[in-house]
């Protein structure tokens, strides 16, 4: 079993640390935030992610947390899991990566720096040169990008589709592969540049599928087709598969938006205009705003109207609000003069613009509201179309940004219903009565 040092106690670093400890390795996790380290030492996880708390408890003897980089000096592997947010130009900000390299302690033996942070192609070569310049030629370098998805991060780490290991030194790649020996997954062993590109390309492809199905949804709306049926029919084609074909209000989160920008910038810095990716990004931005048009179609001008935003996290299963569509929606609604109430079961809503009222329950959010918008596909919202919700709303309109509800059942329950890419019945617009009307369909 190996001794593993991890820089960064965020989603990737903490999940990596907890999972390696579960696999039997000795793990030291280092972060720069004292409050985070203190809460981890108390056994508290600083964000919402299933299974991580249990792993921390079960493996507490093999896991320690520190602020001091010197505590990883005797580790055989030094995983870099720090954040790489976008700069103003859209390039990835690698300053935290370089801080880690600058702060590497006087390491003993021949450890390997393992890059798990998502970085532009070419970063590994620069870090390798940086290590050499700092007199650390004996320290290895391997790219090992992470593909976990928040909300099911532990499952993704323990049962990955593949493990990508990029290195120019075969022995270093083999050492990193040995850390994962008890995980049953194909290993893609390649050069560092290709490993870096695999991560960026995989994310870009997933985003392309999302923007593609969202555009199909918009055409469905214009032509009377139902994107849910279309996606099912398309996804059953084995050449295409069903994943990431769910139409909605666009992707968000800490990875897709920044990684798409970083890849677009990387291409353009290299003299190539990545047209398809530019379109994917633009479609996504427009998609987040389409809800406003749907609300106006039902309510007219939104000034003075109360809109309940249900779900704030960028997706269900996490409290992460980075680049969440809820932020754009809330800002647009406030700009239109609407009163905005917001609810989420776990996200705090701290990154919403000032002026949004954050409430503790779905019922508090919809009370007296002119519309309820499903922003995050939380399972509890599947029960939204019920009497107590309808009766407490000023106007029983549901805009379902995630196609979570059954349109017919929702209409039968007395709501006007708008999904994404689903036919709207004319009587849905500006309904006069909350009474169920079977003839609507």
Ligand X SMILES: NC(=O)c1ccc[n+]([C@@H]2O[C@H](COP(=O)([O-])OP(=O)(O)OC[C@H]3O[C@@H](n4cnc5c(N)ncnc54)[C@H](O)[C@@H]3O)[C@@H](O)[C@H]2O)c1
Q: Which residues of the chain form contacts with ligand X (CB under 6 A)?
A: 7-13, 30-33, 36, 81-84, 96, 99-100, 117-118, 146, 148, 150, 254-255
Residue 6 CB, nearest approach to ligand X (Å): 8
H/E stretch holding 417: strand 416-418
Provide Rg for the chain, Cα atoms.
24
Query: Between residues 31 and 172, which has the closer beta carbon with respect to ligand X?
Result: 31
Q: Return the H-helix or E-strand segment holding 339.
A: strand 339-343
Residue with smallest beta-carbon separation from ligand X:
10
Report DSSP letters for 341-410, one per residue: EEE-SS---TTSPTTPEE-SSHHHHHTT-SEEEE-S--GGGGG-SSHHHHHHSSS-EEEETT--S-HHHH
36 vs 422 by CB, closer to ligand X: 36
Least Å distance, CB 342 to ligand X, is 22
Closer residue to ligand X (CB): 188 or 441 = 188
- In the three-class reduction of DSSP (H, G, I as helix; E, B as strand; rest coil), residue 277 is classed as helix
Q: Least CB distance from residue 327 to ligand X, whole Å? A: 17
> Helix (H) and strand (E) counts for the chain?
15, 14
Lookup: tokens for 220: 């469905």
Ramachandran region, residue 208 (left: φ > 0; alpha: ψ -120 to 50; beta: rest): alpha
Q: Which is nearer to ligand X, 123 or 403 (CB)?
A: 123
Query: Which residue, 161 or 435, has its beta carbon nearer to ligand X?
Result: 161
Q: Closest Cα to residue 177, out of 219, 205, 144, 153? A: 144
d(C-alpha 162, C-alpha 284), whole Å: 28
Q: Which residues contact 171 (CB under 8 A, 6 or more apart)?
A: none
> Please, what is the minimum distance in Å from the beta carbon of residue 124 to ligand X?
14
Pick 164 or 291: Cβ nearer ligand X: 164
Half-sphere exposure of 434 (CA within 13 A, CB side): 16
Q: How far is the CB of 45 from ligand X (least distance, A)?
A: 12
Alpha helices in 224-338 (DSSP H): 227-235, 256-269, 275-299, 325-335
Catalytic residues: 255
Q: Which is nearer to ligand X, 18 or 100 (CB)?
A: 100
- Dump strand ranges (E) for 140-246: 140-143, 163-166, 187-190
Work out how close the CB of 256 gets to ligand X at its nearest, in angstroms, rounded to a whole number.
9
CB of residue 257 to ligand X, shortest distance in Å:
11
Residues 129-135: contacts with CB under 8 Å, at least 24 apart: 130/98, 130/101, 131/101, 134/101, 134/102, 134/104
Shortest Cβ 38–ligand X spacing (Å): 13
List Cβ neighbours of 1 (8 Å cut-off, separation of 6 or more): 24, 25, 26
Beta-bridge mates of residue 115: 80, 143
The full DSSP string for 25-55 is -EEEEE-S-HHHHHHHHTT--SS--TTHHHH
Q: 157 or 415: whose CB is closer to ligand X?
A: 157
């Amino acid at each position: 079993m190996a001794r593993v040092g991890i820089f960064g106690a965020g989603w990737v670093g903490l999940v990596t640390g907890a999972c390696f400890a579960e696999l039997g390795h000795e793990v030291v996790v280092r972060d720069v935030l004292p409050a985070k380290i203190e809460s981890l030492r108390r056994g508290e996880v600083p964000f919402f992610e299933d299974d991580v708390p249990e792993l921390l408890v079960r493996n507490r003897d093999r896991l320690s947390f520190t602020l001091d980089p010197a505590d990883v000096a005797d580790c055989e592997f030094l995983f870099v899991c720090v954040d790489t947010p976008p700069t103003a130009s859209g390039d990835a900000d690698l300053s935290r990566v370089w801080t880690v390299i600058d702060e590497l302690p006087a390491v003993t033996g021949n450890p390997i720096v393992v890059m798990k942070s998502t970085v532009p192609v070419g970063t590994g070569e620069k870090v390798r040169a940086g290590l050499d310049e700092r007199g650390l030629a004996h320290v290895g370098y391997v790219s090992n990008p992470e593909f976990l998805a928040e909300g099911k991060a532990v499952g993704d780490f323990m049962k990955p589709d593949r493990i990508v290991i990029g290195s120019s030194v075969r022995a270093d790649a083999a050492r990193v592969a040995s850390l994962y020996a008890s995980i049953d997954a194909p290993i893609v062993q390649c050069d560092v540049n290709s490993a870096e590109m695999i991560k960026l390309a995989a994310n870009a492809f997933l985003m392309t599928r999302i923007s593609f199905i969202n555009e199909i949804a918009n055409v469905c709306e214009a032509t009377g087709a139902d994107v849910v049926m279309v996606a099912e029919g398309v996804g059953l084609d084995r050449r295409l598969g069903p994943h990431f074909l769910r139409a909605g209000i666009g992707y968000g989160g800490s990875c897709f938006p920044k990684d798409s920008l970083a890849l677009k910038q990387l291409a353009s810095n290299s003299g190539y205009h990545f047209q398809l990716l530019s379109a994917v990004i633009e479609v996504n931005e427009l998609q987040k705003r389409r809800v406003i048009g749907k609300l106006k179609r039902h309510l007219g001008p939104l000034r003075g109207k109360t809109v309940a935003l249900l779900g704030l996290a960028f997706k269900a299963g996490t409290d992460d609000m980075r680049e969440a569509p809820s932020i754009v929606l809330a800002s647009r609604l406030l700009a239109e003069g609407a009163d905005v109430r917001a609810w989420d079961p776990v996200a705090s809503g701290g990154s919403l613009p000032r002026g949004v009222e954050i409430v503790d329950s779905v019922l508090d959010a919809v009370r007296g509201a002119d519309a309820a918008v499903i922003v995050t596909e939380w399972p509890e919202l599947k029960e939204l179309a019920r009497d107590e919700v309808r009766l407490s709303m000023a106007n029983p309109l549901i805009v379902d940004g995630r196609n979570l509800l059954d349109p017919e059942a929702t209409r039968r329950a007395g709501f006007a219903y708008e999904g994404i890419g689903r036919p709207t019945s004319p009587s849905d617009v500006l309904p006069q009565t909350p009474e169920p009307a079977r003839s609507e369909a």
